[in-house]
């Protein structure tokens, strides 16, 4: 059932994210849930679902947006553009407080935030976040936005053979923090081998690799159990136990599985291709 629909004329919505609720806080009656969306004209719009209205429009980018997320406390919006810039904006004031150009020249494919202990990895800040770009680079940051602190923790660059001209024809570069293994991130992308890499931020090295049947086109890690969901270009969706185990492969899509995402409970998985959105039940998750 379609509950709410927002329309922005003459612009393409490129990315969208839900505002997180603070940990341990139950929703209040009448509390509005918010969605933030990034558009092809470089604008960011915040929508109230309960009031069915746009509450805020910002313009932090000169190029189309390709990735967007909230900080873990919902107080900041991180957005990435096709030109590789990352902007940090406040939904309270509508101001952009920081622009990072470290990935400039390559589209941002992933932005993700996760909570951290204050002195994890010897840097200050309440959260870690990562940015991934199409040129197989991943930057990891520690930040405390209220104190205006943002420190580069690690910079990863993954090798690849000489590929076809133009990044658009290559599989995407994707990375995610591992929910069940503290201080580890998972990376998939065009490379020397078809594999998923588990990288330790503490040891500064790849801990292990999981072979894949093809280069991945989408990636999601379950927040409830050690499982990865991986989409591929041949209409295949794979559920991969970690660190080892027999994978389960599922057909049903009509095209490349370009998106997959576990629900917060880990009991459902949503995947999407060109003209199909599938919702999967995960028994025992």
Residues 67 and 179 in one domain: no
78 with 119, same domain: the answer is yes
Evaluate whether residue 51 is within a structural domain: yes
Q: Which residues contact 156 (CB under 8 A, 6 or more apart)?
A: 137, 138, 139, 140, 187, 199
- Same-domain check for residues 91 and 214: no
Helix (H) or strand (E) holding 152: strand 149-157
pLDDT tens, N- to C-terminus, the chain (285 residues) = 888 999 999 999 999 999 997 665 565 555 669 999 999 999 999 999 989 999 999 999 999 999 999 999 999 999 999 999 999 999 999 999 999 999 999 999 999 999 876 567 777 778 999 999 999 999 999 999 888 899 999 999 999 887 655 545 789 999 999 999 989 999 999 999 999 999 999 999 999 999 999 999 999 999 999 999 999 999 999 999 998 889 999 988 989 999 999 998 999 999 999 988 999 998 765
Is the CB of residue 230 less than 8 Å from the CB of residue 260? yes
CATH assignment at residue 107: 2.130.10.10
* Domain assignment of residue 153, yes or no: no
Does some domain include residue 212? yes
Residue 140 lies in a domain: no
pTM score: 0.92
Note down the domain range covering 3: 1-24+34-128
Peptide bond into 243 cis (omega under 30): yes
Q: Are residues 111 and 204 in the same domain?
A: no
Is residue 56 domain-shared with residue 162, that is, in the same domain?
no
Same domain, 119 and 57: yes
Q: How many domains does the chain have?
A: 2
> Within a domain: residue 138?
no
Report the distance separating Cα 22 and Cα 25, nearest Å.
6
Q: Are residues 120 and 4 part of one domain? A: yes
């Amino acid at each position: 059932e379609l509950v709410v629909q927002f329309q922005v004329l003459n612009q393409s919505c490129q990315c969208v994210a839900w505002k997180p609720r603070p940990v341990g806080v139950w929703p209040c009656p009448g509390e509005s849930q918010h969605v933030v969306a990034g558009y092809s004209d470089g604008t960011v719009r915040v929508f109230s679902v309960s009031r069915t209205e746009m509450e805020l429009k910002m313009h932090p980018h000169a190029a189309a947006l390709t990735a967007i997320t909230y900080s873990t406390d919902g107080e900041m919006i991180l957005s990435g553009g096709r030109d590789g810039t990352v902007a940090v904006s406040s939904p309270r004031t509508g101001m952009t407080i920081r622009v990072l150009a470290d990935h400039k020249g390559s589209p941002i494919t992933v932005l993700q935030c996760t909570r951290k202990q204050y002195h994890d990895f010897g840097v200050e800040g309440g959260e870690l976040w990562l940015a991934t770009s199409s040129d197989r680079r991943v930057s990891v940051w520690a930040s405390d936005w209220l104190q205006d602190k943002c420190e580069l923790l690690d910079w990863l660059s993954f090798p690849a053979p000489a590929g076809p001209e133009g990044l658009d024809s290559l599989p995407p570069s994707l990375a995610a923090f591992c929910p069940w293994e503290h201080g580890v991130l998972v990376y998939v992308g065009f490379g020397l081998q078809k594999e998923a890499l588990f990288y330790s931020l503490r040891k500064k090295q790849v801990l292990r690799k999981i072979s894949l049947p093809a280069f991945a086109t989408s990636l999601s890690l379950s927040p409830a159990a050690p499982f990865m969901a991986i989409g591929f270009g041949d209409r295949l969706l794979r559920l991969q136990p970690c660190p080892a185990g027999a994978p389960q492969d599922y057909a049903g899509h009509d095209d490349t599985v370009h998106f997959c995402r576990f629900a917060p409970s880990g009991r459902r998985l949503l995947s999407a291709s060109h003209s199909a959105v599938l919702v999967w039940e995960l028994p025992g998750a």
